[in-house]
Amino acid sequence: MPTRNKNFTGRDELLRELHADVRSHITAVVPHALHGIGGVGKTHVAIEYAWRYRHEYDIVWWIPADQPILVRSSLAGLAPHLGLASPASVGIEEASAAVLDALRRGDPYTRWLLIFDNADQPAEINEMLPSGGPGQVLITSRDHTWQARAATVVVDVFTRQESIDFLRKRVSAAIPDADASRLAEALGDLPLALEQAGALQAETGMSVQEYERLLNVQAAHLLGANKPPDYPLSMTAAWSLSVSQLAEKLPVALELLRCCAFFGPEPIPRMVFESLTESQLAKSKLRALLSDPIMLSKAIGVLARFALIRIDADTRTILVHRLVQTLLRSELSAEERTSFRAEAHRLLAAASPDKADDNATWPRYAELLGHVGPSELSESTEPEIRHFALSIVRFLFSSGEPKSALDLVRKFIAAWATDDKPPTKDVLEARRHHGTILFQLGDYKQAFELNRETLALMRDILGPDDNETLALTNVHGADFRARGDFTTALEHDLESLRQHEAKFQDPPSQRTLRAMNNLAVDYLLLGDYAKAREHYERTIRLSRTVNANQKSLLIWKSGLARVVCLSGDYATACDIGEAAHADAVADLGPNHPTTLRILSDLSIAKRRAGMIDEAYELAELAFERQQGSFGRDHPDSLAAALCLANAQRTRGETAEALVRLRDTAVRFPDVYGERHPFKYGCDTNLALLLRVNGDVAAARDLDRQCLEGLADALGHDHHYALTCAINLASDLATLGDIGAARELGEQTLATLREALGPEHPLTLACAANLILDLRSQEDVEEAEILERDTFERYERVLGHDHPDVRVAHDRQRLDFDFDPPPL
């Protein structure tokens, strides 16, 4: 909550009316008499309401709502207070969604109050209001259309008596009622104008008569000048008088205030004015002030005493009223506005930390975010300012707000790009971020086209070895993987790694390790698990030499757990996965996308290891959180849905699994296309569920289509194709075509022994099924020879209590399914 205003006066009847309404409505506090003009005191009424009635609530949360981009961030900040994962760990979008859900459910608190301050764009924030729930919502706004959406309480100017009482409280010296009344009349009883008049009198000792005289002079001057049309003359004159007195008392403070006019109306961190280096100070318009900490403190103090800013000592921030900012900007020439805006940009850029994708830097970026739009950052042509702008974009998509990042990066590209000239380096970097965001949102097709075009431009304009070119080269392999072209991805990433190792030999770079990880993903998708494991292990080993960030290290460890699981060592995969998940929860939070991918992988490993119920619980949790964060059609949500359906099947919930998988299967082509290996893998799972639910002919037909598609895309000896072949043999056997089942089983077993080894669980499952087909054809001797070899290996590899071993001993068919790994 903002600090309580010690000079708050009157409004008792208004607060009582507001209390009655807020207890049963979403209530908007809107001005009436000023027809949308600021300065009437809406925000201070809301602050006083919250402080006065705070005993009725368990949670009161303040949300700056003038910029929709900040609303989710502010909502997300409430998460830890509700026992939810912090936005630093799960991202802003996911944390804010979790907060709204918890408020609707009243868990853990039913008595809550949200205050959306300056919500002047109802359509933009409507979806961020809790729909239902046991708490209350209070909105302040200049937009009268809230009257059609919510119960409204009108905030008017002060009554004359409230004005008199306020001036008595604000001015330390006694002021006669008659003088106070005349002053209030001159200022139209507008609270903000009275605040500045009282501050000026308290600071200078000026008499009411002298103030009235000067006010009339200022008003006469302003009537012939460029007074902003949206604000009353009384406010403009009062402000102008305060500024003229400030200029006489401490001119550098006025320069600081003018600079603050080009920040946003959100709190400005004090450290913004303390972050310039010596070389940056030399170029600063405010260098004399900013290089002198004592003078800076004095200037800030004087501005506060003149009521031109407010200081929050707890957060070390200052706040300038939006009306004051508008008036300040209006008095400047175009040249001066350009100069002060550029100074604000330089201060913001200097205050930003490096490594915007490092969660340790996110709180600082969150403080700066509210000033990006209002400062018109997109208009700057300075390279360091554009670098800061793109760091904000990177912060947004790294912290979990890809949609906000997408809007912002498109705005920057539109402002910076020109049709008649080749794109500059900052435009190319913005395009790279644009492609990353599209990929993160699951728009693989558009990401591929954009990245392909941008990479060609980078190689031509910047050169193939430029850092920006290499950065895009490093991620473009994922575009090929998303298209299902795993071989091309491998070729691309081999060249990428060669380029990185050539450029970043000494010292090694985290960029190189990312290229190495990409290559491991390629080998995994192509079924070369030995090479994939080698690259994952090397990446993790070298990470100690480059001080890799924890998020990257967790991605690499989860990749290692995944390839160990696919290699058939389920117990070790569980061990690695459990350690990685514990670290991810501790370092990133339980709902971070990386944590959820690790959680799904751990569920898969536990399912393969025979821990069926535990695997199901993890899969259900991962699916619920993925769907809540990204919706049903996001690639991660589709993967989580497959994982959960597979877990349901192994628990015997085959009908429920089939319903889930039918819904999931129709979504796969929209993301991956009709011929992607993942689409065939999903359909392989669907065929399996069709068979176990009795529709065997449909299962056989679908498996045949999948096997043909997988063989064309990856080859007959790929893990995915071999899994499908095992299931197709079971379809044939169930339909009574034992000869065809045996023939396919024998071919598949021979290929599996060569591709995965004789002791891989998939090889042993194929052998166990083939034993049944041999017995059905009364080839008892061959069946017994294969049975002795298979069961001895099965028990050594998985143990005699593993569910698959027990199924094999009971002479029932074994089935295997598909889980899509992250790309």
pLDDT in tens, 117-167: 888 777 778 778 887 788 888 888 877 777 767 777 777 777 888 888 888
Amino acid at position 262, single letter: F
Is the model's pLDDT at 5 over the cut of 90? Answer: no
Domain stops at, among 156, 184, 207: 156
DSSP structural state of residue 66: S
Q: Supply the pLDDT for residue 667.
A: 95
What average pLDDT does range 34-61 have in this prediction? 78
Please tell me the distance from the alpha carbon of residue 184 to that of residue 163, in angstroms, as a whole number.
6
Q: Supply the pLDDT for residue 815.
A: 94
- Number of independent structural domains in the chain: 4
Per the CB < 8 A criterion, the answer to whether 109 and 59 are in contact is yes
Q: Supply the pLDDT for residue 225.
A: 47
Q: Supply the pLDDT for residue 489.
A: 97
Please tell me the distance from the alpha carbon of residue 331 to that of residue 695, in angstroms, as a whole number.
78
Q: Which residues pair with 113 in a beta bridge?
A: 60, 136
Q: What is the pTM of this model?
A: 0.81
Please tell me the distance from the alpha carbon of residue 686 to that of residue 727, in angstroms, as a whole number.
11
Report if residue 715 sits inside a domain: yes
Q: Supply the pLDDT for residue 361.
A: 87
Two tokens, residue 455: 């990479």
Please tell me the distance from the alpha carbon of residue 88 to that of residue 85, in angstroms, as a whole number.
8
Please tell me the distance from the alpha carbon of residue 460 to that of residue 476, in angstroms, as a whole number.
16
Coil, helix or strand for 763? Answer: helix
Q: Supply the pLDDT for residue 218.
A: 66
Two tokens, residue 293: 């900490």
Is the model's pLDDT at 43 over the cut of 70? Answer: yes
What average pLDDT does range 477-481 have in this prediction? 97
Per the CB < 8 A criterion, the answer to whether 802 and 791 are in contact is no
**What is the DSSP secondary-structure string of 298-328?**
HHHHHHHHTTSSEEETTTTEEE--HHHHHHH
Q: How confident is the model at residue 32 (pLDDT cuts 50, 70, 90)?
A: very low
Q: Which residues pair with 27 in a beta bridge?
A: 138, 151
Q: What are phi and psi of 177, to 5 degrees?
A: -60, -40
Q: Do 796 and 814 lie in a common domain?
A: yes
Is the model's pLDDT at 743 over the cut of 70? Answer: yes
Q: Output the CA–CA distances (angstroms, integers) from residue 124 to 69, 381, 420, 459, in the order listed.
A: 9, 29, 35, 40
Please tell me the distance from the alpha carbon of residue 551 to that of residue 535, in angstroms, as a whole number.
18
Q: How confident is the model at residue 37 (pLDDT cuts 50, 70, 90)?
A: very low
Q: Do 301 and 203 lie in a common domain?
A: yes
Q: Do 48 and 101 lie in a common domain?
A: yes
The edge-to-edge listing of strands for the beta sheet with 317-319 is 268-269, 317-319, 310-312
Q: Supply the pLDDT for residue 455.
A: 97
Residues counted in the chain: 823
Is the model's pLDDT at 36 over the cut of 50? Answer: no
Please tell me the distance from the alpha carbon of residue 681 to that of residue 705, in angstroms, as a whole number.
11
What average pLDDT does range 707-722 have in this prediction? 96
Helices (H), 333-424: 334-351, 362-369, 383-398, 402-416
Output the domain CATH number for residue 817.
1.25.40.10
Q: Do 187 and 322 lie in a common domain?
A: yes
Please tell me the distance from the alpha carbon of residue 533 to that of residue 520, in angstroms, as a whole number.
7
Is the model's pLDDT at 169 over the cut of 50? Answer: yes
Per the CB < 8 A criterion, the answer to whether 164 and 174 are in contact is no
Domain stops at, among 156, 182, 206: 156
Report if residue 548 sits inside a domain: no
Q: Do 142 and 203 lie in a common domain?
A: no
Q: Do 148 and 253 lie in a common domain?
A: no
**For 23-27, 366-370, 450-454, which range has the lowest pLDDT when averaged over its residues?**
23-27
Report if residue 222 sits inside a domain: yes
- In tens, the pLDDT along 591-605 reads 778 889 999 999 999
Look-up: residue for tokens 């429920």? 656
Alpha carbon distance, N-terminus to C-terminus of the chain: 43
Report if residue 4 sits inside a domain: no
Is the model's pLDDT at 224 over the cut of 60? Answer: no
Report if residue 637 sits inside a domain: no
Is the model's pLDDT at 389 over the cut of 90? Answer: yes
Q: Do 141 and 178 lie in a common domain?
A: no
For every residue of 511-573, which 3-state class applies, written as one string? HHHHHHHHHHHHHHHCCCHHHHHHHHHHHHHHHHHHCCCHHHHHHHHHHHHHHHHHCCCHHHH
Q: Supply the pLDDT for residue 46.
A: 87
**For 308-322, 370-384, 472-486, 771-785, which range has the lowest pLDDT when averaged over its residues?**
308-322
Please tell me the distance from the alpha carbon of residue 343 to that of residue 631, in angstroms, as a whole number.
42
Please tell me the distance from the alpha carbon of residue 477 to that of residue 292, in angstroms, as a whole number.
51
Q: How confident is the model at residue 234 (pLDDT cuts 50, 70, 90)?
A: low
Q: Output the CA–CA distances (angstroms, integers) from residue 557 to 440, 527, 561, in the order listed.
A: 20, 18, 6
Q: Do 339 and 214 lie in a common domain?
A: yes
Q: Do 452 and 328 lie in a common domain?
A: no
Q: Output the CA–CA distances (angstroms, integers) from residue 284 to 225, 281, 347, 537, 686, in the order listed.
A: 30, 5, 9, 49, 65
Domain stops at, among 347, 379, 402: 347
**What is the DSSP secondary-structure string of 667-727?**
THHHHH-TT-HHHHHHHHHHHHHHHHTT-HHHHHHHHHHHHHHHHHHH-TTSHHHHHHHHH
Long-range CB contact pairs, 741-747, < 8 A, 24+: 741/773, 742/770, 742/773, 742/774, 742/776, 742/777, 745/769, 745/770, 745/773, 746/770
Is the model's pLDDT at 477 over the cut of 90? Answer: yes
Q: What is the chain's percent helix, strand, coil content, to nearest 5?
A: 70, 5, 25
Q: Which residues pair with 117 in a beta bridge?
A: 64
Report if residue 321 sits inside a domain: yes
Q: How confident is the model at residue 223 (pLDDT cuts 50, 70, 90)?
A: very low
Instruction: Please give the residue range of the domain that contains residue 416.
Output: 352-478
Is the model's pLDDT at 33 over the cut of 50? Answer: no
- CA dihedral 83→89→91→96, nearest 10 degrees, is 10
Mean pLDDT value across the chain: 88
Q: Supply the pLDDT for residue 351.
A: 95
Please tell me the distance from the alpha carbon of residue 733 to that of residue 696, in angstroms, as a whole number.
10
Per the CB < 8 A criterion, the answer to whether 622 and 603 are in contact is yes
Please tell me the distance from the alpha carbon of residue 626 to that of residue 637, in angstroms, as a whole number.
5
Helices (H), 756-800: 761-776, 780-798
Q: Do 67 and 196 lie in a common domain?
A: no
Q: Do 301 and 214 lie in a common domain?
A: yes
Q: Do 818 and 686 lie in a common domain?
A: yes
What average pLDDT does range 664-675 have in this prediction? 95
Please tell me the distance from the alpha carbon of residue 368 to that of residue 267, in angstroms, as a whole number.
9
> Exposed/middle/buried for 294, CB within 10 Å: 0-12, 13-18, 19+?
exposed
Report if residue 205 sits inside a domain: yes
Per the CB < 8 A criterion, the answer to whether 561 and 577 are in contact is yes
Output the domain CATH number for residue 115.
3.40.50.300
Two tokens, residue 294: 């004592």
Q: Output the CA–CA distances (angstroms, integers) from residue 715 to 23, 720, 755, in the order listed.
A: 66, 9, 12
Please tell me the distance from the alpha carbon of residue 405 to that of residue 169, in angstroms, as a whole number.
46
Question: Residues 6 or more apart from 554 whose CB is under 8 A from it?
Answer: 580, 583, 584, 587, 588, 594, 598
Please tell me the distance from the alpha carbon of residue 668 to that of residue 101, in angstroms, as a whole number.
28
- In tens, the pLDDT along 524-563 reads 999 999 999 999 999 999 988 887 878 889 999 999 999 9
Report if residue 577 sits inside a domain: no
Is the model's pLDDT at 642 over the cut of 90? Answer: yes
Q: Supply the pLDDT for residue 644.
A: 97
Q: Supply the pLDDT for residue 29.
A: 61
